[in-house]
Structure 1
Amino acid sequence: MTLESERLQLQEISWDDLSEIHTLHSYSEVDKYNTLGIPKDIEETKEVIRPLIAAQKSENRKSYFWKIVIKNTKEFIGIAGINLSLNKFKLGEIYYKLLPSSWGNGYATEVSKALIKSGFEDFKLHKIEAGVSTENIASIKVLEKSGMTREGLRRKILPIRGEWKDNYHYAIVEDDPMDY
């Protein structure tokens, strides 16, 4: 499954993307609000993406993970994903990470909107959620520009570098105004 936006393409990952994903996860700037932590080596990154690649063959798939590339150059700029709930709830959670060199170009908002659009149109979801550290101002702006509403605060839920951080809970439902 491939997703597209005006300037970007989201392509399902393969083992060929291991090195680029490892590099992305190795940036301290990317890790600042990330619960994953900086991998100690490429083998650790391999173990993180192994279940995401294996999920591609699952009949009742609940997890999608894409690399983000610029359409006209095929340059890798990040990753994105959506996790789906049980069918009864019609709920999905989106996430994204971009290389620092790609920040400030509107790519994260473009990715977020593409994920939301796919969630409603392809996966027929009722609600799409995202969590964000209360300190991550840039990502908060992305979610709000994508049409999501802050629904609440989850206190001390994110384990980031040995500290428990607060998380804002954002969501959009299928009958909210859409801008994608």
Structure 2
Amino acid sequence: MILETSRLIIRPFVINDLSEFEKLLDIPEVIGWQMQKSNSEGFLSWHITNYINMDIINGIVCFGIFDKVNGNVLGSVGAGEHDDLHETEIFYNLLPDTRGNGFATEATRAVTEWAYRDYNIPYIIGTAAVDNIRSQKVLENCGYKFIDIKKLLVHITNKEYEFKYYRLYHDK
């Protein structure tokens, strides 16, 4: 599965992406990924094994976002079961120096369209920290509608945080 947009290639990671993938383990806001720095090859391998089932309903599928021109990694995007809510969630992250260019919105739209094309799901959710205005804008720009503020457990830290909860219903 490879998705192409006007500026991006969104594709499964491969083991040869390790050096590019490791850049994503330094994104300050993505604590769970930061905690995998000492296990970067194992963490990448885990993502690669998830492509076998491609299960966004009971599992997780994460793709790399790559610049179409130079092939560099810009971030990651995917969909999968939310730990607490047990609903299919869209997720994304970008390297800090690539933000503000619309890449997250472009990638989120592409993966949302793929999910609705390939899976029989009534809606996809998105969550964004209440203070993460940029992430909220990505969801809103992709048509996700704000529903509520929810206090959710971030399992990797074992702490609860408030998130804005969004949904995008599938128009069949």
**What is the TM-score with the length of structure 1 in the denominator?**
0.80
Task: Flag structure 2 segments of 5+ consecutive residues without an equivalent.
Answer: none
- Return the alpha-carbon distance in structure 2 between the equivalents of residues 157 and 60 of structure 1: 22
State the match for 2:93 in structure 1.
97
Equivalenced residues, count: 167
State the match for 2:66 in structure 1.
69
- Return the alpha-carbon distance in structure 2 between the equivalents of residues 121 and 59 of structure 1: 13
Report the alpha carbon displacement of residue 137 of structure 1 after superposing the two structures with TM: 0.8
Question: Aligned letter for 1:63?
Answer: I
- Return the alpha-carbon distance in structure 2 between the equivalents of residues 149 and 132 of structure 1: 12
Task: Flag structure 1 segments of 5+ consecutive residues without an equivalent.
Answer: none
What do the CA deviations read for 1:30-87 (whole angstroms, capped 9, x no partner)? Answer: 322x34152364x4223333322112223867432211111122221111111159xx
**What is the TM-score with the length of structure 2 in the denominator?**
0.83
State the match for 1:13 in structure 2.
13
Asked if the contact 1:151–1:169 (Cα under 8 Å) also holds between the matched residues in 2, the reply is yes
What do the CA deviations read for 1:75-129 (whole angstroms, capped 9, x no partner)? Answer: 21111111159xxx9x631111111111110111111111111111122432111
Secondary structure of 1:165's counterpart equals: strand
Report the alpha carbon displacement of residue 163 of structure 1 after superposing the two structures with TM: 5.4
Question: Aligned letter for 2:91?
Answer: Y
Report the alpha carbon displacement of residue 174 of structure 1 after superposing the two structures with TM: 0.9
Return closer, same or farther for 1:130/1:25 CA change in 2, 3 Å cut-off. Answer: same
- Return the alpha-carbon distance in structure 2 between the equivalents of residues 143 and 120 of structure 1: 16
- Return the alpha-carbon distance in structure 1 between the equivalents of residues 164 and 88 of structure 2: 16
Calculate percent identity across the aligned residue pairs: 25
Q: 1:31 aligns with which of 28, 31, 43?
A: 28
- Return the alpha-carbon distance in structure 2 between the equivalents of residues 165 and 112 of structure 1: 23
Whether 1:52 aligns to 2:47 is yes
State the match for 2:128 in structure 1.
132
Please give the root-mean-square deviation of Cα atoms over the aligned residues, in Å.
Answer: 2.7
Secondary structure of 2:34's counterpart equals: coil
Return closer, same or farther for 1:151/1:24 CA change in 2, 3 Å cut-off. Answer: same
Asked if the contact 1:78–1:96 (Cα under 8 Å) also holds between the matched residues in 2, the reply is yes
